[in-house]
Structure 1
Amino acid sequence: MAKRFGGRFSPQQTRLDGSDPRPPARPHPGEMRHPLESRTRWVTIMAIPFLISAFWQDPTGLATHLAAFGTIAAGMWMTREGLQAEAAYDARRVARRPAIPRKLFGGILTGLGLAIGAYEPGAEIGAGIIGVAGALLHWLSFGTDPMRDKGMEGVDTFQQDRAQRIVAEGEAHLAAMQDAILRTGDRRLEARVAMFAATARDMFARVEEDPGDIAAARRYLGVYLQGARDATVKFSDLYAQTHDARARQDYENLLNDLETEFAARTRKLIEGGRTDLDIEIGVLRDRLAREGLRPAAKAAEPAELERPMTLDDLLIPREGEKQRR
């Protein structure tokens, strides 16, 4: 995950230990990892005896053992894909359930592979029991796929699909920028591009949560990112050959300007959502007041001191003062 430059003498707002006090940015989709993802590798490794022992079997045993290993490996691959989809689902506040229940199919393939590996003529029931037990253990180890949409109430699915396509294009531009800057061999430039990518992904997250903002952000996600990608490619080719300090300064200034604009646009999108919320609350309150479910707001009465004072007010004591006396 990208981290900003900073330290004790940095002008940025950082702690003394150099860590960034702000919340972490939205990670790259390729960086989303499920904590159980490594288990699939170990299960595949444990199925290797089927592969090795296959070459000491007769033709039927060879085919059976190879099929068992292949089926288990395919089940673990499907399970790993399901875990990655679940990690992406958990990382977003607004997300659809996966279209294909990959972990479910992975469990079925794993159980089938174990049943094939345990098959012996006349022992079909035992092989079936082993397969069912393997599928059950798979479910206990990896859990189930997300079966419900999350945060989709009131969200236009067509607009969300459109937003996801545009965000995918933006991610492709960012990936091209980060790949091109590697040609410079400069770690600081690589980190600077990663900082800009983190800022852009904040806007990606906002657009995914509220697809209605896609019209206001499309220029940033398309034209500006494409221009930044082209500028990065040209700068990387030039800097790798000449190490021109002026070109580097111009490129860093460009990234600073783009990062400022992206951050400002993201804040405006958030403020626009707050404005829409205030309007909805005001309209609902007015409707409740018209229907008599909420008292209407009364006009503020002028303060007592704003009333013109007379000579009687100064000479005649008030009732409250008499009681205190």
Structure 2
Amino acid sequence: MEALMIPKDRRARTATTAPDDAAFDSWLNILFLAAFPLLLWLFRGSFAGVATALMALWIFSIGLRLIAHGHRLHQAYDAAPVARRPRLPRKILGSALIGVMVLILAGHQFATLMPPLLMGLTGMALSLAAFGPDPLRDKGEQQPVNSAALEVEAAQARLEDVLVELTDRIAALQDADLTRRSEATRAMVLRCMRSIGHTPEERARILKPVTRFAEMLETETARLEDAARREDFRFARRRFVAKLDVMAESFEERARRHGLRGGRDVFDMEADFLLERMPRESAA
């Protein structure tokens, strides 16, 4: 049934974006396993060894997270005919952090700074060779008619950063179910924002409900964080889940109406929202 509902170009795009992201994240997770021998330092008994191991793992995890986020932004940059370069070169920064981790670890094995420094630079260079650098120039800026599109792209990038930050704040509460729900909702919002608008005018219209959604989610996240420091967290958690579901359904309905007004095929729209709803309902 799904094959009948989704056109070939939509099936191809659906089949190549989400699986590619999942495969890339899987490889990064495997790469993180390479740092597990550092856990042995935790049992050496020396304070310096424990502190170094924890610092190296922390730096490594941040570097991999920056590379993963930079990879997603690079894919969106490649797919868009007009796009701004990322405000932060996340893949370059992530590779630099990996180099810093190598420098710290090698510093315990040498009496001089030069060998660890060379090893750190080599680690950074290998990471850049493996994952590539970030886009360093705007794309399509030479066309005057594209200035509005570039402004919309910049606004979309800012909203994506806000949604990622809110999801990270929820994940910091260490509630696996809330984390899955918030990440699934964020993926739905970003998918709608990227797929519904095909012209600068359409993308500018979809930015308004996304901005409103982000503001409401920020308010509810702040209330949930405040409740986590008190004894009424269970009630606040139920309230947050209920409001998150209502906000997601309301946004989906508005995005669906916007897409239908924009001329998209009804079966194409329903297939998109069905594909996006599946991971969120599995999280529930």
TM range (shorter): 0.5 to 0.7
1:148 aligns with 2:148: no
1:106 aligns with 2:94: yes
Q: Which residue is 1:160 aligned to?
A: 152
Structure 1: any 5+ residue segments left out of the alignment?
8-13, 172-193, 237-254, 268-325
Partner deviation per Cα, 1:241-285 (whole Å, 9 max, x = no partner): xxxxxxxxxxxxxx8xx9687445347xxxxxxxxxxxxxxxxxx
Please, what TM-score do these two structures have when normalized by structure 2?
Answer: 0.53
Structure 2: any 5+ residue segments left out of the alignment?
164-187, 214-242, 265-284
1:50 aligns with 2:38: yes
Q: How many residues align?
A: 194
Question: Do the aligned residues in 2 keep the contact of 1:163 with 1:211 (CA within 8 Å)?
Answer: no
Q: Which amino acid aligns with 2:125?
A: L
1:23 aligns with 2:23: no
Higher helix proportion: 2
Distance of 1:37 and 1:63 partners within structure 2: 27
1:81 aligns with 2:81: no
Relative CO higher for 1 or 2, CA cutoff 8 Å, sep ≥ 6? Answer: 2
Distance of 1:134 and 1:6 partners within structure 2: 45
Any residues of structure 2 matched to 1:172-191 within 5 Å, and which?
A: none
Task: Describe the SS at the equivalent of 1:74.
Answer: helix
Alignment match of 2:196 (pick from 199, 203, 214): 203
Using the TM superposition, give the Cα deviation of residue 98 of structure 1 relative to its aligned residue in structure 2, in angstroms. 0.7
Task: Describe the SS at the equivalent of 2:121.
Answer: helix
Partner deviation per Cα, 1:30-62 (whole Å, 9 max, x = no partner): 948275333322221101111322331522233
Give the structure with higher Rg (CA): 1
Task: Describe the SS at the equivalent of 1:97.
Answer: coil
- Structure 1 residues 95 and 138 mapped into 2: Cα distance closer, same or farther (>3 Å)? same
Any residues of structure 2 matched to 1:211-250 within 5 Å, and which?
A: 211-212=200-201, 222=209, 233=246
Q: Which amino acid aligns with 1:23?
A: D
Using the TM superposition, give the Cα deviation of residue 214 of structure 1 relative to its aligned residue in structure 2, in angstroms. 6.3
Q: Which residue is 1:126 aligned to?
A: 115
Q: Which amino acid aligns with 2:152?
A: Q
Using the TM superposition, give the Cα deviation of residue 137 of structure 1 relative to its aligned residue in structure 2, in angstroms. 0.8
Any residues of structure 2 matched to 1:284-303 within 5 Å, and which?
A: none
Question: Do the aligned residues in 1 keep the contact of 2:95 with 2:124 (CA within 8 Å)?
Answer: yes
Identity fraction in percent? 26
Using the TM superposition, give the Cα deviation of residue 201 of structure 1 relative to its aligned residue in structure 2, in angstroms. 6.1
Question: Do the aligned residues in 1 keep the contact of 2:92 with 2:133 (CA within 8 Å)?
Answer: yes
Partner deviation per Cα, 1:92-149 (whole Å, 9 max, x = no partner): 2222111000111111110110111121351432222221111111011101101122
Please, what TM-score do these two structures have when normalized by structure 1?
Answer: 0.47
Using the TM superposition, give the Cα deviation of residue 69 of structure 1 relative to its aligned residue in structure 2, in angstroms. 2.3
- Structure 1 residues 76 and 159 mapped into 2: Cα distance closer, same or farther (>3 Å)? closer
Report the RMSD for the aligned CA atoms in angstroms. 4.4
Q: Which amino acid aligns with 2:36?
A: I
Question: Do the aligned residues in 2 keep the contact of 1:202 with 1:266 (CA within 8 Å)?
Answer: no
